[in-house]
């Protein structure tokens, strides 16, 4: 099955790292798909990749550059990212813009867990990638990939808006090279989901203690 992972007005060769895309495409081809499902998939991925909604999440400096790409000069609306959502339930990807500290780490994990599948993570800037200049600190997580899986890394301190756009286009290409039907949308059972959520809030089976007599 042939997949179109091209980005409008940017040539395939313009991207520096095509190996991982090739790898993903190879895997897709090897597994093979039904023609109808494959075509449907292609359409879905095209739509999905062009309307990726970010979560408004910023802890420090990189967040200001994230705002800058939202403004008129860099304008990520051109690529379909403009609908920044304040609720993780509505967001497609989380741009970890800034340092993640020990106190913030459980909050970030929880935000990630609250997002609906399929979801993506972009680690923006030195701090999110490796701890950056604060790597030696007693209170900084050295890399968000220690706590949540990362799809795209954008280096810089902070990265220029152009670099952020490049990174987001890489994410688009990744989305285009995925299998949606029977692939990444293959969720987990409701029971498992509930278990995960319960583990997340550290609540053991104490929900039975609620006094429900006053409820209608």
Partner 1 sequence: MDKTIDIKEKLTGLGAAWSDAGDGLYRIPVQSFRKAAELLRNEGGFDFLRSLTGMDWGEEGLGCVYHLENTVTGENIVLAAADQDRENASLPSVHDLWKGANLNEREAYDFFGIKFIGHPDLRRLFLRDDWKGHPFRKDYDPSLNPLNMENESSEDEALSYEMTKDGNYILKRHPLFEEEEYVINIGPQHPATHGVLRFRVSLEGETIKKIDPHCGYIHRGIEKLCETSTYPQTLGFTDRLDYLGAMQNRHALCMCIEKAMGLQVSDRIQCIRTIMDELQRIDSHLLYISCLCQDMGALTVFFFGFRDREKVLDILEQTTGGRLIQTYNTIGGVQADIHPDFVKKVKEFIKYMRPALNEYHEIFTGNVIARERLIGTGILSREDAISFGATGGTGRASGWACDVRKRHPYAMYGKVDFREITFEEGDCFARYMVRVKEIEQSLNIIEQLIDNIPEGEYQMKVKPLIKLPEGSWYSAVEGSRGEFGVFIESHGDKFPYRVKFRSTGLPLVACVDTISRNAKIADLIAIGGTLDYVIPDIDR
Please give the residue ranges that form the binding site for partner 1 (CB under 8 A).
56-61, 63-65, 67-68, 71-73, 86, 88, 98-99, 101-107, 109-111, 133-134, 136-141, 146-147, 157-158, 160, 200-202
CA angle 119, 120, 126 (to 5 degrees): 155
Do the beta carbons of residue 172 and residue 79 sit within 8 Å?
yes
Instruction: Find the shortest distance in angstroms from Cβ 10 to partner 1.
Output: 23
**Residue 144 or residue 177: which is nearer to partner 1 going by CB?**
144
**Residue 10 or residue 203: which is nearer to partner 1 going by CB?**
203
Instruction: Find the shortest distance in angstroms from Cβ 101 to partner 1.
Output: 6
**Residue 112 or residue 180: which is nearer to partner 1 going by CB?**
112
Do the beta carbons of residue 118 and residue 185 sit within 8 Å?
yes
Q: What is the largest CA-CA distance in the chain?
A: 66
Instruction: Find the shortest distance in angstroms from Cβ 58 to partner 1.
Output: 7
Supply φ then ψ for residue 126, to 5 degrees: -55, -40
How many Å apart are CA 159 and CA 170, to the nearest integer?
A: 15
Instruction: Find the shortest distance in angstroms from Cβ 138 to partner 1.
Output: 5
**Residue 28 or residue 140: which is nearer to partner 1 going by CB?**
140
- Give first-to-last CA distance, the chain, whole Å: 55
């Amino acid at each position: 099955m042939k997949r179109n992972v091209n980005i409008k007005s940017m040539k395939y060769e313009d991207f520096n790292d095509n190996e991982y895309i090739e790898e993903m495409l190879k895997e897709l081809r090897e597994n093979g798909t039904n023609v109808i499902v494959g075509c449907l998939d292609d359409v879905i991925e095209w739509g999905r990749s062009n309307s990726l909604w970010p979560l408004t999440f910023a802890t420090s400096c990189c967040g200001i550059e994230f705002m800058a790409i939202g403004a008129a000069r860099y304008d990520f609306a051109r690529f379909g990212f403009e609908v920044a959502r304040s609720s993780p339930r509505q967001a497609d990807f989380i741009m970890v813009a800034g340092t993640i500290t020990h106190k913030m780490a459980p909050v970030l994990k929880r935000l990630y867990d609250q997002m609906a599948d399929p979801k993506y993570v972009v680690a923006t800037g030195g701090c999110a990638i490796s701890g950056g200049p604060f790597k030696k600190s007693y209170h900084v997580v050295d890399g968000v990939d220690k706590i949540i899986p990362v799809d795209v890394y954008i280096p810089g301190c902070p990265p220029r808006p152009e670099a952020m756009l490049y990174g987001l286009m890489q994410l688009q290409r990744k989305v285009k090279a995925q299998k949606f039907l029977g692939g990444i949308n293959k969720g987990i059972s409701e029971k498992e989901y509930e278990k995960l959520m319960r583990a997340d809030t550290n609540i053991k089976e104490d929900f039975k203690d609620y006094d429900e007599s006053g409820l209608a």
